[in-house]
Amino acid sequence: MSQQFPAMFIADAAGLDFLNSVATPVDLPIDWIDDGEGLLAWLEQSQLVPADVLRTMRERAMPGEFDRLADQARSLREWFRAFVRERKGRPLGSADLQALEPLNLLLARDEAFGKIVAHEHGAAGALTFERSRRWSSPESLLLPIGEVMAKLVCEEDFTHVKACEGPTCTLLFADHTRGHARRWCSMAACGNRAKQAAHRNRIKGQS
């Protein structure tokens, strides 16, 4: 896996950032989860899994176990990409529920639970409710991914889920701008290239 570029988190929605874990930042496509180590690195960068959990998983894993998990993650990603691309630009409804059955099957494996803990940043002795998870196997590392995918489906207005207008760009994002006028994955990348192309076309038109 190429480490030349850091993973990209530009979508304004964690579920779409997962889809953007394969992209073409410059010329060649990069898949940040193309093997087990890549998946662990991406999970740590995304902050979906605590670093100490990932360390423990590494220590206990059997050879090839994370590579197989990365295969599952990529399959999940491409299934969800098809779901999102087919439905972006319109609200989701009950008619879309059946297509989400693979995601519900993943979520059903979760061993999440709640607990009461002392609040680190509150008043002395303050208590707070915190959600936690039993990381019982490497496969449990897919559960927070499933959770952010579910939150995207249930909390994001798919009317404003868009694909970057860059001609070769594959990135998706949630447009939270005023007036929902966002067109590019980022102005520093595709937006800047579009400006340069428009400038060149204007010069050609004047010659």
Establish if 6 belongs to a structural domain. no
Largest pairwise CA distance in the chain: 74
What is the CATH classification number for the domain harbouring 154?
1.10.3300.10
Both structure tokens of 42: 């991406």
Establish if 5 belongs to a structural domain. no
Both structure tokens of 51: 């670093």
Domains identified in the chain, total number: 1
Query: What was the pLDDT predicted at 60?
Result: 93
Q: Compute φ and ψ for 168, nearest 5 degrees.
A: -115, 5
pLDDT digits (tens), the chain, 207 positions? 445 678 999 999 999 999 999 998 777 889 999 999 999 999 999 999 999 999 999 999 999 999 999 999 999 999 999 999 999 999 999 999 999 999 999 999 999 999 998 877 666 668 889 999 999 999 999 999 999 999 999 999 999 999 999 888 899 999 999 999 999 998 776 867 656 655 456 566 666
Query: What was the pLDDT predicted at 32?
Result: 97
| DSSP alpha helix (H) spans, the chain | 14-19, 36-46, 51-60, 65-87, 101-107, 143-155, 192-206
Query: What was the pLDDT predicted at 10?
Result: 95
CA distances from 201 to 32, 169, 183 (A): 35, 20, 19
Question: How far is residue 57's CA from residue 96's CA, in Å, rounded to a whole number?
Answer: 35
Establish if 9 belongs to a structural domain. no
Query: What was the pLDDT predicted at 167?
Result: 86
Question: How far is residue 57's CA from residue 60's CA, in Å, rounded to a whole number?
Answer: 5
Query: What was the pLDDT predicted at 114?
Result: 95
DSSP states of 88-148 as a string?
TTS---GGGTGGGHHHHHHHTT--EEEEEEE-SSSSTT-EEEEEEE---SGGGGGHHHHHH
Establish if 124 belongs to a structural domain. yes
Establish if 51 belongs to a structural domain. yes
For 143-178, b where at least 16 C-beta lie within 10 A, e where not — what string?
bbbbbbbbebbeebebebbbbbebeebbbbbbbeee
Q: Which domain holds residue 153?
A: 14-206
Establish if 123 belongs to a structural domain. yes
Query: What was the pLDDT predicted at 51?
Result: 96
